[in-house]
């Protein structure tokens, strides 16, 4: 078991995973507000996941963007899998006023990822670390499910 979720990634891989967040931040007119919203979203989101199956599934389908225009495409891809061994997780993120203590602990445990983003400026480091932890926390949450293939519709 690794001490830090990100120990399994190279710095180049972290850069690649962070690209979209860094791009969004650098193209934002109000970087402070965007960073603040990402922190708040991460810390104030609960994940309502289905009960864990006792048996292994061929596919876990995950849709993190709650957009009606993606729902039809998502469902057509599920049907195209031609599998009856599925786990489907969608519309699972619930934002509220309470802090998600589990997410906060995960962030604290994995905070050192910020030091792996050496070529970024301070604000980019903060933003990318938050986004990396939000992606990783979701992966951590689904890690109890047993499946062979992960299919995602997400903001990543």
Question: pLDDT tens digit string along 66-76?
Answer: 788 888 889 99
- What is the pLDDT, as a whole number, of residue 155? 58
- What is the pLDDT, as a whole number, of residue 3? 63
Sequential DSSP letters for 15-57: HHHHHHHHHHHHT-S-HHHHHHHHHHHHHTEEE--PPPPSS-E
Domain boundaries, the chain: 5-153
Residue 115 has a CB neighbour count (10 Å cut-off) of 9
What is the pairing mode between strands 147-153 and 45-47?
unpaired
For the chain, which ranges sit under pLDDT 50? 1, 156
- What is the pLDDT, as a whole number, of residue 105? 96
């Amino acid at each position: 078991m690794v001490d830090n979720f990100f120990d399994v990634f190279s710095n180049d891989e972290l850069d690649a995973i962070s690209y979209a967040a860094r791009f969004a931040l650098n193209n934002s007119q109000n970087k402070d507000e965007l960073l603040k919203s990402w922190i708040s979203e991460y810390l104030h989101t609960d994940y309502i996941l289905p009960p864990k199956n006792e048996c292994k599934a061929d596919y876990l389908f995950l849709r993190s963007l709650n957009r009606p225009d993606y729902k039809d495409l998502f469902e057509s891809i599920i049907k195209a899998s031609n599998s009856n061994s599925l786990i489907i997780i969608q519309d699972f993120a619930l934002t509220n006023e309470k802090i998600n203590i589990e997410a906060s602990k995960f962030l604290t445990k994995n905070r050192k990822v910020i030091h792996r983003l050496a070529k970024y400026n301070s604000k980019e480091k903060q933003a990318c670390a938050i986004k990396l932890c939000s992606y990783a926390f979701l992966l951590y949450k689904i890690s109890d499910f047993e499946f062979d293939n992960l299919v995602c519709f997400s903001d990543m």
